[in-house]
Amino acid sequence: MNFPTKISHCVQKFCARLAHDNRGVAAVEFAFVLPILAIMLLGTVEVARAVDADRRFGNATAMLTDLIAREQELDDADLAGMMQAIEHLMRPYASNTLSLGVVAVRAPMTAGQEPRVEWSYSHQGKPVPAKCATYSLPADLVSPGGRVIVVESAYNFTPMFVNWDHNPLKDNLSNGFIAWTDKATLTPRSDCVHNTTQETSSSRCDFSCN
């Protein structure tokens, strides 16, 4: 057997051994599967965080409405204390993007007129209508002359794993945030919730836009 034949024979044997050698196959397959598993894991964590934060946000809106509706008389300092308590409900999520607006609305006594704002309160820049401004309520929500407490809320949720500087999806998330809004409405437990800071009359439930 000449030298070229020996070389060819050795190459053939080496190729045959290589074709039947399955060492390291698991590592190669795992390298292909690892990115998919990582994406699934991170996605599961992110979805769980979003669901939990959304639940806390909804509870915060509903609880604030219920707290205010229970009162007969309060002032802006009382409302500020309530806001601090509500912010604790968002933990462990940041509360600095939670904005809340409280609007006390009275339905008109005369048919055809619009409901009016008795007083309003804003927390962390939430826009609220001024006193005596009109406020739309669903039809037949409250009887003529009746009152409701409305809480409007907004929250910017920050995902953990899609909020880096060069992420191509960042623009689709409103600059890294997912914006949520909520609204809750309750009838006061008593005839009204009197805000002593903003009401011009010392008498409870004495409301006038004149």
Residue ranges in the chain whose pLDDT is less than 70: 1-25, 162-176, 202, 210
Question: In this structure, what token pair is assigned to residue 107?
Answer: 């339905």
Amino acid identity for residue 151 in this structure: V
Question: What angle (nearest 5°) sits at the alpha carbon of residue 74, between those of residues 189 and 127?
Answer: 95
What is the per-residue pLDDT for 5?
65
What is the per-residue pLDDT for 162?
63
The domain spans of the chain are: 25-195
Kindly report whether the global pTM for this prediction surpasses the value 0.85.
no
What is the per-residue pLDDT for 166?
53
Tell me how far CA of residue 137 lies from CA of 84, 105, 122, 173, 206, in angstroms.
Answer: 28, 9, 19, 31, 21
Question: In this structure, what token pair is assigned to residue 150?
Answer: 């409305």
What is the per-residue pLDDT for 55?
95
What is the per-residue pLDDT for 135?
93
Q: CA–CA separation, 56 vs 62, rounded Å?
A: 10
185: region left, alpha or beta (phi > 0 left; psi from -120 to 50 alpha): beta
What is the per-residue pLDDT for 98?
95
Using DSSP's 3-state secondary structure scheme, residue 78 falls into helix
